[in-house]
Amino acid sequence: MSSHREAPEISKDPVADSSDLYAFVSPDHPDTVTLIANYVPLQAPAGGPNFFEFGDDVLYEIHIDSNGDARPDLTYQFRFRTELRNDRTFLYNTGPIESLDSENWNRRQFFSVTRVDMHGKHTVLADKLPCPPCNVGPLSIPDYAKLAEDAVHKLKSGEKVFAGQRADAFFVDLGAIFDLGTLRPFQDKHLVGQKLFDYAGKAVNATDKTNVHSIALQVPLHMVRRDGKKKVRGRDAGAVIGVWTSASRRQVQVRQGDKDHDDVYVGPQTQVSRLGNPLFNEVIVPMAQKDQWNSLPPSEDKRFAEFVATPELGALLPVLYPGVFDKLAAQNKTGEPRADLLAVLLTGIPDGLIDDFQNNTGKIQADMLRLNTAVPPAKEPNPFGLLGADLAGFPNGRRITDDVVSISLRAIAGATLPLVNAEFEPDEAATLVEQGLSIKNVTAELLDEFPYLPTPFDGFNNPPAPKE
């Protein structure tokens, strides 16, 4: 969550599990867009001796739709290859790792980048780019930040790429939310919680001090826009792109069963994971259909539109918090589909609903992270994004600092309904409800430059040694 372990089958396959997707106009290079896809979620920093890595047998992709048909017009493919220096040791490293080609680093990983255009033409942009190692600890890696900086690669084609371990900057109170939908700041208002608590609690960031593996890509804006325009107006349809990430595996794996033969992978690539908007498969799609959703492209999302139009969580909020969401309960009884959520999640917000803003991609219903690339980065970002009058924030793309959990809660609670129904007045709680966390609850600090996500937590200090 936002898409960590969000479906039964992918929860068993973490190296292919897409946990978060970000898309934003780069604050320090506003003529580019930054796309970040996180995989291998909830890593314990001390998880050796076999530290975390990308899957050599997984095809990772970041897709961009520039014409609103919910099909990729531009795709970047990432393939990984792991090399072992010494097959006579159990160690990840046999001494300090001070460079990406250090002889002390035993298990190294490299990746290639392939660009696929709308006609299916494949162009290999780079091959055997080194990933940084996992952050084992200060004895093994004296200057991790320098190694990670060296693993940022500028391609001749104009893109910038990074693939490797990062600290997870997503913040969420997993323990409370999945305990009957509890929000600790409102736990004394909860149907069951009011019997246990007579006070408002403080939220806990369950993903703090965990790591992920990130694929970060920075692309000049004109390369992702329709018709390759360098300048567009915010109201132009060509200003908006749709973004999603996917992971795929070969359809058949044949295990050889002996050390002299490699396993064989045959058949077409089969998609096993997908992510566009945060929380879509996690909270919107029923458990019985989550695996199917992961296998389908966004162009098939009309199958799931009914769950957006009548979200289960929207019906649960008035029950779980009695007397708090009465206006939402009354709206639910009308049976009217939630046109606001259908727009926000499946088509984008059309022009005219919010002053000087739109990120609509047309009539095709598809779960994509939609970004109006003509909206400049905010000088003072608001963590509540569009709901906080910040046009550069979620659901216009997604920045690392956006509180997507609270934004989603407020939207489902009815805060966005007046966009399409001027007569509806949301419950006061709809504009106040939140999980009680922010980027300040992430212990690691964001970087001011690409790839922006923080230095991963090291295994020596996490968990910390007891103080004497």
CA distances to 56, 251, 254, 255, 468 from 265, in Å: 11, 8, 6, 9, 52
Tens digits of per-residue pLDDT, 174-209? 999 999 999 999 999 999 999 999 999 999 999 999
Give per-residue pLDDT as tens, 403-433.
999 999 999 999 999 999 999 999 999 999 9
In tens, the pLDDT along 344-387 reads 999 999 999 999 999 999 999 999 999 999 999 999 999 999 99
Task: Please state the rounded mean pLDDT for residues 75-94.
Answer: 97
Residue 1 pLDDT > 60: no
Could you tell me the CA-to-CA distances from 443 to 10, 167, 194, 206, 208 in Å, in that order?
28, 9, 31, 12, 7
Residue 388 pLDDT exceeds 90 = yes
Mean of per-residue pLDDT scores for the chain: 96
Q: What's the pTM?
A: 0.96
CA distance readout (Å), 427 to 76, 308, 328: 43, 20, 7
Q: What local confidence, expressed as pLDDT, does residue 400 receive?
A: 98
pLDDT of amino acid 254: 84
pLDDT in tens, 285-332: 999 999 999 999 999 999 999 999 999 999 999 999 999 999 999 999
For the cut 60, the answer to whether the pLDDT of residue 77 exceeds it is yes
Taking only the tens place, the pLDDT of each residue in 4-61 is 888 899 999 999 999 999 999 999 999 999 999 999 999 999 999 999 999 999 999 9
pLDDT band at 259 (very low <50, low <70, confident <90, very high): low
